[in-house]
Amino acid sequence: MTKQFNYDDLPVIQTKQGKIRGYQSGGTYIFKGIVYARAKRFQKPEEPECWDGIKEAASYGYVSPMLQEDVPNGELMVPHRYWIQNENCQNLNIWTQSLDKMAMRPVLVWFHGGGFSMGSSIEQKAYNGENMSKYGDVVVVTVNHRLNILGYLDLSQYGEKYADSANAGQEDLIAALKWIKENIKEFGGNPQNVTIFGQSGGGMKVSGLMQMKEADGLFQKGIIMSGVPDKSYKYSDKDSTPLITALLEELNFTEDEVEKLEDIPYAQLAQAYNKVSPKLEAEGEYVGCTPKPNDFYKGEGPDVGFRKEATKIPLMIGSVFGEFYMKPQTFFKDEISKEELMKRIGDRFGDWGEELSDVFQEVYPEKNLADLLTLDTVFRCPTKKFIKEFAKSGGKIYSYLFTLEFPYQHGKTAWHCSDIPFVFHNTELVPVTNIPEISDKLEKQMFDAVIHFAETGDPNHLGIPQWPVSTEDREATMIFDRVCTVRFNFDDSLLELYKKALPNLTLANITQEDNQIQH
């Protein structure tokens, strides 16, 4: 379908630093690659320089360099866009329906996945904010920031200018939110109604900012999607000296030459890091690439307690049925015999297999028993703990679980990232998520819940059952599926039994088994 395009006749936007011009497509105003900060390597971001004239904001900006090359796989499940990498990656993109300063529409700010080491604001095709802005009548912002050792490498013991190096990536996100607060009215947005939302690593960034005093007042609501992993995903507060010493030695620098790390080519720095970090990680030492608890960042709420300010932020939080079980099964679940299936379940769960099978069928009577083999626990269990502790601290929190089965690989359970197209109203961009007579309805139900939450702090709307707030003792979980239902503490017994059967199962185990993990 042809969309009307407009560029020449559009008003010029005055930001704090200078004037910019975007373009209009199909009625949506689009601005790409807006620089919100600048920074020297490892150092705190600063406001961007002002400019004269009019800057064009019609092209996506740089994305953060990665430690490894991207390997295109799993593209049917998670279609990607690969982009130019550069350290000057502090930029954002905006989609809006109005440039009226008085429009005061809700603002949704997206933090991308990929942990704290990979990904970008435009990496997944489903991240495109046009449909969310158009159908939700909201302002959508997606953010790039420094990742891996550029954003999360503790050099604080080597000088005051590196005081924030362990959390520089989070500092970038705060800088983006400050830019949004100062400028978003020019794009029709309400700076006092900002929802930050993210999936996987993006969800971790949401919960992390809630534990940072410097982010207070910059957002009013949060949505965490598959963003609470188990303890194998480490936020280490250990001394970084062994890592930095090894890095300097690998690069033939002395302890007095730390500043040289600022200037060497990133590829050389990444190569050295990739060589020395595995051994240190195996020994339990600090290896960076995640936020580090300190005076700036308190640590994750379920572990150290939620800040009082954090509990004032209404939350939506959830995960998906299968998460990181992304590789194809070696059998067709609609053809395998009961005897063969029970043998496979026994191979995986040992003596617990039969009891687990019975409980699974009680909890998920509509599912094929084979789906027990792809049931996620490494996100679901920590998410349940987060919900319990946040509610216990007085926070308002809504729980969900995305359990849709897809007509792919003979009935694939919901995988990591499979809910994103529904949240962004972008199933049309991800063909595998298109299920006739199902996807359009579920997309609207999920999308409207997100939009209502962004507007009011409450996801309830006429298209779904009444969705109560969860409490410390009663988790009210919205099941997003072919038929949406609300269930209370429904999977507690199943997950407890699962942990008894596989007490040592971690996210790290699963990612090592499956090379189709996408971010």
Q: Which of 64, 120, 156, 200 is catalytic?
A: 200
Other CB atoms within 10 A of residue 120 CB: 28
CB 162 within 8 Å of CB 128: no
Task: Give 193-262 as a DSSP string.
Answer: EEEEEEETHHHHHHHHHHT-GGGTTS-SEEEEES----TTS----S--HHHHHHHHHHTT--GGGGGGGG
* Calpha distance 313→147 (Å, rounded): 26
**Residue 277 is a catalytic residue:** no
Per residue, what are the HEC states of 388-405?
HHHHHCCCCEEEEEECCE
Q: How far is CA 375 from CA 371, 380, 441, 497, 504, in A?
A: 6, 9, 25, 13, 15
Q: Tokens representing 499?
A: 């942990």
CB 227 within 8 Å of CB 207: yes
At a CB cut-off of 8 Å and minimum separation 6, what does 183 contact?
15, 16
CB 30 within 8 Å of CB 141: no
Residues pairing with 507 in the sheet? none
* Calpha distance 210→314 (Å, rounded): 11
CB 43 within 8 Å of CB 109: no
Would you please indicate which residues are annotated as catalytic (active-site) residues? 200
